[in-house]
Chain A
Amino acid sequence: MLVPIILGSDKTTVSVATGQNEYYPLYMSIGSVHNNIRRAHCGALALIAFLAIPKSESS
């Protein structure tokens, strides 16, 4: 059985009372599921990680 794995990440800024935080959520889906199902909030797109993004300070 072929199960293609699709990963995607996009920076998300979350504003909370303590200040602004940037998160890098990593999403995963499988290629076997049809496109209309993947778009339909049926759990075919899962949040699997929050990536650590080291920042280089600009001087």
Chain B
Amino acid sequence: MLGQPCSEDGANLPLNIPPPPRYTNRDPDDWTPYRSRIEFETAQFIYCRAQMSAPNIDTLLDLWASTLLKHNEPPPFANHTDLYNTIDSTPLGDVAWQSFSLRYNGDEPEGTLPQWMTSEYDVWFRDPHTIIKNMIGNPDYNHHADVAPVRIFNSNGSRVYQNFMSGDWAWEEAVSSIFFFCPHIFDTPRTG
């Protein structure tokens, strides 16, 4: 239970190996709704990193347009509205919504059926397995997630509960006979 990374068939991997690329159906060169990687990186720089005001974005894009004029090419965005619209139309995650219909199919009572027994209901969902794979593979959570349950003790020897994986539930879910043969950080074998 050291949380060492391993391959799909269980072979141990080096500790600092980066996770595999995020699962997606899209072509690696497909930056839609951005026309190119440069356009995406421009938007990320202006909006996320520089957090530029709308008038400054317009000034920058005007200067950009005038330098590209002689090559007869447009700037990455026409103005701040074009930039904002492109960012707003960026899909969040790659997991598509799906739906199915269902209705009551159990025993029917005599007399008039209540409406809910005869109605059809739509359920909309996204594949949870893919979403979980994306969460586990998200590099933003590096050093902010536990891959194995932990028991944390302070200098007085008292138990410290901090995150989900430091709790008893996670610990007890993961305990197996193999566990007792593994070294662990704190010498506190579970008893009882």
Contact = CB atoms under 8 A, between A and B. Distances in A.
A37 B132 contact: no
A1 B174 CA distance: 9
A46 B131 CA distance: 8
18 contacts: A3-B132, A4-B170, A28-B128, A28-B131, A31-B170, A32-B136, A34-B162, A34-B163, A37-B141, A42-B140, A43-B138, A44-B141, A46-B93, A49-B126, A52-B122, A54-B116, A56-B116, A57-B114
A55 interface: yes
Contacts of A5: 128, 132
A35 B163 contact: yes
Nearest to B102: A52
Contacts of A57: 114-116
Interface string B122-155: 1111101001100110101100111111000000
Contacts of A48: 125-126, 128, 131
A5 to B, nearest CB: 7
A3 B123 contact: no
Interface residues of A, number: 31
Contacts of A55: 116
B119 A49 contact: no
A2 B135 CA distance: 14
A50 B165 CA distance: 28
Nearest to B141: A33
B18 interface: no
The 3 closest A-B pairs by CB, nearest first: A52-B121, A31-B164, A54-B116
Contacts of A6: 164
B144 A43 contact: no
B141 A42 contact: yes
Contacts of B138: 42-44
A4 B164 contact: yes
